[in-house]
Structure 1
């Protein structure tokens, strides 16, 4: 019987150092150019890699993010529900994917998480599942790589809360918002993803360019009712 509910602890940020300045180098592609593929990492792999990246974070990385406009408060807010970010050396793969590499160039790693509930000995425990990892660099904030390729957005757990939903353009903006926003990663996502957005109370966007892009995506992926030509009366 589920008569109790317990929350997870906040996630820590500590570990070995990487040169955060190297985040400014590299080329990435958005989801519109991403090709189909098979999964490269299991759920347990993703969780292990997420926490490995978090252990690489040092004060220099936090200072650099702060200079980019990501406040300690925003990271602390996000850290209450998931690992906020990490640092990994990454090797780019075909299809806008990446894999961790000890000789790869460092990149900012943003875990894509979804809320789940686990039933452990009668306790209903709030938890998360890491469904993908995003690698991005500050020099090209609108271009990123996927670890697995299955994530269509950061912050999808905010959908369906019957409140205005803030939409931001990049993972860096999502970190600035403390995770309290939606960042669309894959603009070529299946239609059912866009159907979730069509049911929102209101969408708040920072500029007309993102609004127009989102409107076009919603129209392009709108579900149409069955249509048939009625037979003519004899």
Structure 2
């Protein structure tokens, strides 16, 4: 049966996803950045309260996936920390300046993450040659690749997802970006084994008082009185579709 991974930004989302039937969680901070490494406090508390597999993302900043030496050293420290906490896997990805998989650094990542399942995230969708990238990640021993098929969303990239699935000797090809209840069956029918979804909704802040003219965001258009949360009903409905497809 295809597995459902839910992207969760914080402990409340992770607990909701688990209760709704998610098979695995990708744990992140900073949804507007596309996911950054969670804080030490979040990592500890999620480990205490969530029993399904949780894979934290290791990403020190938003933007591209070509990191400085200092950023990479930070990532190695974060890998060591989540490994010490007992997490079974992690999510990471890095490219060189030419858009190829950064093999020297990924080899060090695999050494540091020894015993953990490593997912190479959507940095893969920015790489120069996806077929070469698949071969390189296979050689590294990466457990899975999270990809939209190098398109803005996975439904548009379905043809490449099928190709990668057919040619993959080892890494699981996990569809992500725009995977939702309305199109889930398309991925099942294409033979994709794992689905990654935010299954999210915007939830209004409980604050009744709203200070006018003051913002904490550099984005003047940002709505700071709404936040992303996992929609448990959507997770449960997606899981029902996957169970019925088996």
Where on the TM-score scale, by shorter chain, does this alignment land: which range?
A: under 0.3
TM superposition score normalised by structure 1: 0.27
Larger strand proportion of the pair = 1
Higher helix share: 2
TM-score (norm 2): 0.27
